[in-house]
Structure 1
Amino acid sequence: MLDTEILSNYKYILNEWRQKGRLQLSEREERLISDLMIDGYHAWYSFYKTLMSSIKVKVSINGKENTLSVGQAINLRADPNAEVRKASHEALENVWKEKEGLFAQILNHIAGFRLQVYKTNGVENILEEPLLNNRIKAETLDIMWGAVDKHKNAFTEYLNGKAEILGEAKLNSYHFWAPITNSDQHIDYDKAVKFVTSHLSQFGPELASFISNAFEKGWVESENRPNKSAVPFCIGFPQTGESRVYMTYSGTIKDLLTLTHELGHAFHNHAMKDVDSINKQYPMSLAETASTFLEMIVLDAAIDQATTKKDKLLLLDEKLKRSVMNFMNINARFLFEKKFYEERKQGFVSTTRLNTLMKESMDIGYNGSLGHIPVHSWVWTPHFYITKSPFYNFPYTFGYLLSLSIYAKAKEKGRGFEKDYLAFLRDSGSMSTEELVMKHLGEDITSESFWEKGMELCMNDVKEFIAVQASVRTPLQNMK
């Protein structure tokens, strides 16, 4: 039947459904488990979000005690004042110590329920579901992490360089997001639109037309107003082929990059507007590809146009934070989750053990380059509690490295690459990731050399960062 003309276009997705069906119980049993999940499994995640939103954090800033939400306290990690960053970190740690027993119960019950479902369905490998959902092979994931581990020393060098700039022997975790220069640069929204349009338009005519159309028709809601959610997102409307971007723009380089990132998601939707509905659902491992790709174009353009060493170092730091998060932080999350699930099979994992697992994973993930390791990261990282998608971590690194390889191809081929790129996006919902990359990029992602191409681009950023840092030994605020 799959070889018939009417079904051949849906061969991959139908085979995928069949494969997933083999992991399920009878229809009656699946309905029963699904009903139990509402007030059991998914209810724990709902409780986690409710509990987290109810927590108030008291942080002392300039001698005055402030009562903040968890999100507000976490955002202080990027405050220019080192004392504020430290105070926020310590206040949060105190809260986590007080509440860790509650969060340990939630995490253990979510994992316990998931493992029972797997056991009932005959699933032994805890990575089977996330690998299937992300349409990648286990060997591909292992090879990707192998390439990351092989080149971590470069990013340790960057972290040590940042520690030196901040006057520390080892970079404390709560200073990672710290701005390394005092930048008073404000980018007006109109200026940001012109900058983004100008540089993305150089990629190809389709993207140029799409970006201009998105801004002209008001598809971006960016107003900075009180009581507005800080979470940016992009949503597509399949019947019209249009998208809408929602964000809060306040004039920073991060806002400019967020704008670009969400437009990347919108362009992915645009590329798939004529694709049959059944083939439009692409996996998380590819969801961040288009957005990160456009981000790289704009960020590199900003670095190239930086007029002072101070601005260049600021932008390189912004870029390298992304690499560290993908190669080190997410690696630590992945290691923690694997260890946790293996231990959860034997019974309840205590708070002491969870803290130990987190510390061990962070030490490995960051190559021992961080001080004051946040052992309670397992508490405030929501990805560990998401019940609809287990191992909500490695797809980020996968998509990031994949977009780097696409970016390298784009720079090599120039504007002529846009046609291949559009074909890549259109097929992103109808084949495995290995097949997709081989078909449109001619690359084998089960080979370590593929992943090393992306790693090399990031390592070059480290070299440039260290070179700029070494060229100045005066205080950064005086840098020209």
Structure 2
Amino acid sequence: MSEAAASNLPRWDLSDLYPGPQSEELKRDLDRAGRDAIAFEDKHAGRVASLDGGSFANAIGDYERITEILHRIFSYAQLLHASDVSNPDIGRFYQDIQEKGTEISAHLIFFTLEINRIDDSKLEEMLKVPDAARYAPWIRDIRAFRAHQLSDELEKMLHEKEVAGRGSFVRLFDETMASLRFPVNGEDLTITQVTDRLSSREPEKRKAAAKVMGTVLGDNMRLFSLITNTLAKDKEIEDRWRGYARPVSSRNLANQVEDEVVDALVTAVKGSYGDLSHRYYRLKARWMGMEKLDYWDRNAPLPEDTDRTYSWDEARETVLSAYSRFSPELADIGRKFFDNPWIDVPARPGKASGAFAHPTVPSVHPYLLLNFMGRGRDVMTLAHELGHGCHQVLAGEQGPLLSATPLTLAETASVFGEMMTFRSMVDAETDATRRRVMLAGKVEDMLNTVVRQIAFHEFERHVHDERRNGELSEERLGEIWMQCQRESLGDAFRFDDEYKNYWAYIPHFIHSPFYVYAYAFGDCLVNALYSVFLEGHEGFQKKYLDMLRAGGTKTHKDLLAPFGLDASDPAFWKRGLTVISGFIDELEEVS
């Protein structure tokens, strides 16, 4: 995409949160939250268990109001920082807000700790009051961590140290990655631009970008290895103190999903490597006239691909039309993101790489960040993030404490949005060759979401397991990465030496350990859901929107039950993976 075209793309306006980092509104909210948090602690610390139901409900309401103010401030700082990670003034503002917010929220920690110490019979009595009962799902999720709770003093200390410990290393990673430049054929590319080149039609461009990317990451490997080792050790210490059996256990508990369910997902996907990724990439190698693919050919366009690019207007209409055909109500929600400055679209130096949807707080609205380059995959990314945004709007009806959705379900609307958009695009295509190209592209996206993310999960599992026995060398980190990549991608690929450095650019390893399996969980869940939809399940659209509206009030079992699905049943994962396998079957037939 040309610089002129990119300059005309929409950018978000964060003034719905605050007019600016030095605005009186922000300072006033920060002061208010600080005063109210101290007053809340003075009023309730040490007394929560003695409250009656009505007073308990009022206390939760006050806690919710204070945390919403803090989350609004945090959201503004995070989004401003993502707009220009390389700006030192914004970086200092972001760090200041993190520190001040952490100091304020330290006065609130006691509340959830004391809720966890309330006797079950006493809590049952308190929740008989309707205003308190409304928060029962939030209390359920808090009390799930009771067995892993430390003393009040330790909890407060860990909370306050976050900004000077783990948070600092996350910031170091983000700012380092944003500042890296990858010199390719006389151009200094950002991480977003160089990874985009890996999808170029021209093999030499892909190769040049891939080689430089691996080299630059390797030149910075000492720092990335230090960050990874430090954060893994930090997690190991806290997990040990809290009594988690496995490194993934805390994430599973937060996701409201049992270890056994995640193990079943991982086992099912790994057991399908041969039928899915190995089979598809051997097929792709034949299409491209190669015995083996080079690693930079993984996302290469097929020879018949016309390399069509999409304008922003075309991408918007494609996605909204697909949403509208499924549910006009859902499309109306999605349209608000385009009618208002809620999306930051263009790729630019200093901007955070990748894409995300930030829910901010229910009293405002979500924001979407993209790095739109005009490719078909960028259209799918828009459909994905818009799904998140619509989900966040609908779940926001539950209020600040009840709207947050566990990661295993947070990917549902996003992946469903992709599926709706893909189906709409492929059904409208009359050219057989183009349909095959689109189907292959969808398979690659699904493999990236399911197989690749489970391979990422396995990389994390090995790293965190081995870190318990000592620091991992740069070489060992590269060995684990290569082992997981070879297992997942199969014998259709050649891997050059610099590919061993590619683990270092994956932000989820740093930001949210063990986040990645949620993508595979969500994709398989959506495949199963979509198959139910195609079978003509009565009232599907209404049930689907009700599921999104539920936010964090229901578990995955309760949410899937109306559709006749159960994620604890091994057949559930097979149903989801069969959708991908069926697409590959179709590609083999038309080949």
Aligned partners of 2:198 and 2:206 also within 8 Å: yes
Aligned partners of 2:347 and 2:373 also within 8 Å: no
* Aligned-pair identity (%): 25
Find 2:554's aligned residue among 427, 431, 435: 431
User: What does residue 51 of structure 1 align with?
Assistant: 176
Find 1:137's aligned residue among 245, 253, 258: 258
Deviations 1:272-307 (A, max 9, x none): 243243211111221121011021111012112223
Matched, 1:116 2:241: no
* Separation in structure 2 between the aligned mates of residue 239 and residue 97 of structure 1, nearest angstrom: 42
Deviations 1:134-168 (A, max 9, x none): 11011111111222233322322211111122222
* Separation in structure 2 between the aligned mates of residue 309 and residue 343 of structure 1, nearest angstrom: 49
Following superposition, the deviation at residue 21 of structure 1 comes to 4.1
* Separation in structure 2 between the aligned mates of residue 334 and residue 224 of structure 1, nearest angstrom: 30
Matched, 1:185 2:302: no
Aligned partners of 2:411 and 2:519 also within 8 Å: yes
Deviations 1:362-408 (A, max 9, x none): 1222244432162223222222222xx32121111111111111111
The correspondence of residues 5-24 of structure 1 with structure 2, limited to 5 A, is 5-24=130-149
* Separation in structure 2 between the aligned mates of residue 35 and residue 238 of structure 1, nearest angstrom: 23
Aligned partners of 2:322 and 2:424 also within 8 Å: yes
Find 1:259's aligned residue among 382, 390, 406: 382
* Separation in structure 2 between the aligned mates of residue 402 and residue 41 of structure 1, nearest angstrom: 32
CA shift in 2, pair 1:37/1:455, >3 Å: same
Matched, 1:286 2:403: no
Structure 1 counterpart of 2:222, which letter?
A: G
The correspondence of residues 84-233 of structure 1 with structure 2, limited to 5 A, is 84-155=205-276, 156-180=278-302, 181-211=304-334, 215=338, 217-218=339-340, 221=343, 229=351, 231-233=354-356
Deviations 1:208-264 (A, max 9, x none): 44345655x446647658669464443446555754545465543233323322221
Aligned partners of 2:201 and 2:307 also within 8 Å: no
Aligned partners of 2:450 and 2:519 also within 8 Å: no
* Separation in structure 1 between the aligned mates of residue 225 and residue 280 of structure 2, nearest angstrom: 34
The correspondence of residues 410-425 of structure 1 with structure 2, limited to 5 A, is 410-413=533-536, 416-425=539-548
Structure 2 counterpart of 1:90, which letter?
A: K
* Separation in structure 2 between the aligned mates of residue 234 and residue 209 of structure 1, nearest angstrom: 18
Find 2:427's aligned residue among 297, 304, 308: 304
Matched, 1:380 2:505: yes
Find 2:575's aligned residue among 446, 453, 478: 453
CA shift in 2, pair 1:47/1:23, >3 Å: same
* Separation in structure 1 between the aligned mates of residue 214 and residue 333 of structure 2, nearest angstrom: 45
Deviations 1:441-460 (A, max 9, x none): 22221111111111111111
Aligned partners of 2:362 and 2:399 also within 8 Å: no
**Partner SS, residue 392 of structure 1:** coil
* Separation in structure 1 between the aligned mates of residue 214 and residue 336 of structure 2, nearest angstrom: 47
Structure 1 counterpart of 2:252, which letter?
A: L
CA shift in 2, pair 1:198/1:351, >3 Å: closer
Following superposition, the deviation at residue 17 of structure 1 comes to 0.9
Aligned partners of 1:203 and 1:415 also within 8 Å: no
TM-score normalised per structure 1: 0.88
* Separation in structure 1 between the aligned mates of residue 207 and residue 516 of structure 2, nearest angstrom: 27
**Partner SS, residue 234 of structure 1:** strand
User: What does residue 155 of structure 2 align with?
Assistant: 30
Structure number with bigger Rg: 2
CA shift in 2, pair 1:87/1:302, >3 Å: same
**Partner SS, residue 536 of structure 2:** helix
Aligned partners of 1:286 and 1:428 also within 8 Å: no
Q: What 5-or-longer segments of structure 1 have no aligned partner?
A: 471-480
Find 1:78's aligned residue among 188, 192, 199: 199
- Name which of structure 1's ranges 190-199 and 293-302 shifts more when overlaid on structure 2: 190-199
**Partner SS, residue 375 of structure 1:** helix
User: What does residue 474 of structure 1 align with?
Assistant: none
- Name which of structure 1's ranges 66-75 and 390-399 shifts more when overlaid on structure 2: 66-75
* Separation in structure 1 between the aligned mates of residue 192 and residue 315 of structure 2, nearest angstrom: 26
User: What does residue 271 of structure 1 align with?
Assistant: 394
Structure 2 counterpart of 1:175, which letter?
A: D
Deviations 1:436-477 (A, max 9, x none): 222x32222111111111111111111222233x2xxxxxxx
User: What does residue 589 of structure 2 align with?
Assistant: 467
CA shift in 2, pair 1:416/1:435, >3 Å: closer
**Partner SS, residue 188 of structure 2:** strand
- Over the aligned positions, Cα root-mean-square deviation in angstroms equals 2.6
Aligned partners of 2:178 and 2:350 also within 8 Å: no
User: What does residue 478 of structure 1 align with?
Assistant: none
Matched, 1:363 2:508: no
Following superposition, the deviation at residue 199 of structure 1 comes to 3.1
User: What does residue 61 of structure 2 align with?
Assistant: none
* Separation in structure 2 between the aligned mates of residue 340 and residue 223 of structure 1, nearest angstrom: 35
User: What does residue 4 of structure 2 align with?
Assistant: none
Following superposition, the deviation at residue 131 of structure 1 comes to 0.3
User: What does residue 444 of structure 1 align with?
Assistant: 566
Aligned partners of 1:241 and 1:269 also within 8 Å: no
* Separation in structure 2 between the aligned mates of residue 257 and residue 368 of structure 1, nearest angstrom: 28
User: What does residue 528 of structure 2 align with?
Assistant: 405
Following superposition, the deviation at residue 130 of structure 1 comes to 0.6
Following superposition, the deviation at residue 415 of structure 1 comes to 7.5
- Name which of structure 1's ranges 3-12 and 160-169 shifts more when overlaid on structure 2: 3-12
**Partner SS, residue 182 of structure 2:** strand
Between the two proteins, the alignment pairs up a number of residues equal to: 461
Aligned partners of 1:219 and 1:245 also within 8 Å: no
CA shift in 2, pair 1:252/1:106, >3 Å: closer
Deviations 1:23-53 (A, max 9, x none): 1321211222223332222212222223333
User: What does residue 112 of structure 2 align with?
Assistant: none
Following superposition, the deviation at residue 196 of structure 1 comes to 3.2
Following superposition, the deviation at residue 77 of structure 1 comes to 0.6
